[in-house]
Structure 1
Amino acid sequence: MSWQSALACWFLRRQFRPETLKPTINVEKARALTARRAWSPRVPKGWVLRECNGPNDMPLRGEWFGPVHSAQASNIHASTDRPTVLYCHGGGYYFCSPRSHRSIVFGLATRADAPVFSLDYRLAPEHRFPAALDDACAAYRRLIATGIAAESIVMAGDSAGGGLALATLLALRDAGDPLPSGCLLFSPWTDLAATGATLRTNDGRDPMFSGPAIALAAKVYLGDAPATHPYASPVYGDLNGLPPLYIMAGSTEVLLDDSQRVADKARAAGVDCEFEVWENMPHVWPMFAPFIPEANRALDNAAAFVRRVTSARSGAAAQPPGAMSMV
């Protein structure tokens, strides 16, 4: 554990975790704190960032970030000859935004040399389940409609956004849509029924969350919807037929079991699933890139996954039936 990550854990334990010990959630305060504290990296040379919030951008509302030579500033358009990532930010479904998650998005995009669309899905409690899911499915379908091949797309997300990305795969599969090449999940929240064992065993060890806070956050998003609905809590879903998954979580997270159970179910269903547990890392530690070494290494690994799964799918798609892929 680097001194930088130790410092991040100390900060979270003093500044963030106390808020999760309170018996109620103050949505407006959470949004205000995030907006004030969000650090935004500079757009690197050779890349372009476009905010897409106009009426003509729907359902691709959010931020488009990509290389200048593969993204047009006046139009949302990804290159068809490179990977494209559809990213769903975390924040319990009720706070945060694409802006608050630029450190992950920029770091992943530049490492994978892949345009990323960071989705600004509707937030609870103004828009409860399944609003976020509907937005994610609509955004994916719009990417396909613009000419981006499914095999060149990777779904990705962190925390609530990780659960949303996985739930989106289930909804797309059930609807018969072509699925992306893979799904990348950072500390995903997959069980809104809050039954994971680590909600108890890691309570007090997690520098960011208390265990009981998870069930409180779930109510903000779910309203009267059942917490075990697989499109809200994909850990309860049938994972058969999903593309490769790559999951990362920290060993002290109260949400660690949300990742472990998904990995176990995916493997039992025959899904290619890589699952890494990083010792003593806080929830969604890639958010701290480029400041902590573990965040940078995690994004390196994530970018390698994006390149690997899109290369494998595109190579297989380009060959005639029965041909052997050399990828």
Structure 2
Amino acid sequence: MSLQNKLICWGLRRRFLPETRKPVDVARTRALTEKRVWLPPVPKGWQLYAQPEQREQGQGGADEPSVRGEWLVREGGAPRTILYLHGGGYYFCSPRTHRAITFGLATRADADVFSLDYRLAPEHPFPAALDDALAAYRRLLDEGAPAASLVIAGDSAGGGLALATLVALRDAGDPLPGGALLYSPWTDLACTGASIRANDGRDPMFCGDVFARIASMYLGATRATHPYVSPLYADFHGLPPLFLLAGSTETLLDDTLRVAERARAAGVSVECEIGRDLPHIWPIYAPFMPEARRALDASARFVKQVSAADVTARARKAAALPTQTVA
């Protein structure tokens, strides 16, 4: 265990963990997260673009799918694309808060990254986030990106959302991406994993009962075992390769282990890394934590392995991007 990891876990126990024992205060959580976030600089040779909200023609109501977020694009365009879905319990965080991951993935995997700013609960419960993720993926296809050049990625709630998106795309008959990266995914909103209890007190970030308290905000009237809400309960046959990681002391550890087991049983290619004593979504601590850098290196290797380079995409993607960059 690195010194950086020890310091980060100490800080999480001191500042973040106590917050999870309190009643959920959506506005306060969002404000604290935005206040504390560290923003990495835009990598040299890359540009960060805001993608304004887009809806399908004839749509425009608040309940319709929305595609907005931010692009990190290599000058001239990269030969593959990652659709990233941030975590945050479906009710906080944003593409901005997760730039340490998206920037690290982009530069290592030579991939343009679209980080989706999906609608959040409780204002927008299920299926809003899933509808937005499906709309974003289909827009990438409509803009000419071959499915084989795409990878879906996400962490925590975003990791569960990424897996649910794969299942929904498969069920709808859409062409599937080359693979998916799932960091500490929250895949069971019924909260039945044994690690929720076994790792309560060992997890430096979350107490065990917090997930049941926040799940209701996203679920609304939907049952917690619906496979598009909790993809742990989905049929995994026909899904593309998966790369999963989680920490050994996470309360959500079983949400990763059970998905890996069931996906393998369904014939899906699975890589699953369990990091000893590492915190929830530890890749977000790049570049400071060496374990985070190594996790992003392994993720990039997976992305390059499962995706097909689109050699015709660069000029097309560069031409389609907005002209206004993000500071």
Is this a same-fold pair by TM over 0.5? yes
Task: Give 1:61's aligned amino acid.
Answer: R
- Tell me the C-alpha RMSD between the 2 structures: 1.5
Is 1:43–1:49's contact at 8 Å kept on the other side of the alignment?
yes
Higher relative contact order (CA 8 A, sep 6+): 2
Matching residue's letter, 1:43: V
Structure 1, residues 147-178: CA drift from partner, whole Å, max 9, x if none? 00000000000000000000000000000000
Structure 1 CA distance, aligned partners of 2:15 and 2:282? 16
Residue 217 of structure 1 deviates from its aligned partner by 1.1
Aligned to 2:119: 122
Q: Secondary structure, in 3 states, of the residue corresponding to 1:281? A: coil
Name the aligned partner's letter for residue 73 of structure 2. G
Name structure 2 gaps, 5 residues minimum: 57-64, 312-327
Residue correspondence of structure 1 range 156-171 to structure 2 within 5 A: 156-171=153-168
Q: Deviations over 1:267-308 (max 9, x none)?
A: 000000111100000000111000000000000000100000
Matched with 1:48 is 47
Task: After TM superposition, give the deviation of residue 59 of structure 1 in Å.
Answer: 4.2
Secondary structure class of the residue paired with 2:30: helix
Aligned mate of 1:101, from 62, 79, 98: 98
Matched letter for residue 70 of structure 2? E
Instruction: Tell me what 1:268 maps to.
Output: 265
The alpha-carbon distance between structure 1 residues 54 and 165, as it changes in their structure 2 partners (threshold 3 A), is closer
1:18 to 2:18 alignment: yes
Deviation at 1:193, TM superposition (A): 0.3
Provide the residue aligned with 1:324 in structure 2: none
Match of 2:233 in 1: 236
Equivalence for 2:319: none
1:6, 1:230 → 2: CA distance?
Answer: 36
Partner of 1:195: 192
Question: CA offset at residue 53 of structure 1?
Answer: 2.3
- 2: CA distance between counterparts of 1:147 and 1:53? 19
CA contact (8 A) 1:59 1:142 kept: no
Aligned to 1:279: 276
Q: Hey, what's the Cα distance between the residues in 1 that align with 2:307 and 2:20?
A: 38
Check if 1:35 corresponds to 2:52: no
CA distance in 1 between partners of 2:120 and 2:126 (Å): 9
Aligned equivalents of 1:83, 1:198: Cα separation in 2: 36
2:43 and 2:264 mapped to 1: Cα distance?
38
Instruction: Name the structure 1 match of 2:299.
Output: 302
1:220 is displaced (CA, Å) by: 1.2
Residue matched to 1:63? 70
Supply the distance in 2 between the matched residues of 1:200 and 1:55 (Cα, whole angstroms): 42
Structure 2 CA distance, aligned partners of 1:210 and 1:306?
Answer: 32
> 2: CA distance between counterparts of 1:206 and 1:217?
17
Q: Structure 1: give runs of 5+ residues left out of the alignment.
A: 71-78, 316-327
Which residue of structure 2 aligns with residue 219 of structure 1? 216
Q: Is the 8 A contact 2:148 2:177 kept in 1?
A: yes
Residue 251 of structure 1 is matched in structure 2 by: 248
> One-letter code of the match for 1:230?
P
1:291 aligns with 2:288: yes
Q: Which amino acid aligns with 2:109?
A: A
- Contact persistence 2:145–2:310 (CA under 8 A): no
1:283 aligned counterpart, secondary structure: coil
Identity of aligned residues (%): 63
* Structure 2 partner of 1:323: none
Contact 1:108 1:302 in 2 (8 A): yes
Residue 134 of structure 1: which of 131, 137, 144 is its match?
131
**Distance in 2, Cα, partners of 1:157 & 1:226:** 23
For 1:80-124, what per-residue CA distance to the aligned partner results, in whole angstroms no more than 9, with x for missing partners?
A: xx1210000000000000000000000000000100000000000
Is the CA contact (8 Å cut-off) linking 2:83 and 2:137 kept in structure 1? yes
Structure 1 pair 231–204 and aligned structure 2 pair: CA distance change class (3 A): same
Q: What code does the residue aligned with 2:32 have?
A: L
Amino acid at match of 2:190: A
Counterpart amino acid of residue 49 in structure 2: R
**Contact preservation (8 Å) 2:67, 2:118:** no
Residues 205, 227 of structure 1: alpha-carbon distance in 2 compared, 3 angstrom cutoff = same
Aligned length: 303
* 2-structure distance, mates of 1:220, 1:85: 28
1:74 paired residue number = none
Which SS does the other structure have where 2:307 is aligned? Answer: helix
Which residue identity is paired with 1:180? P
For 2:283, the aligned partner's letter is P
Task: Give SS of 1:263's match.
Answer: helix
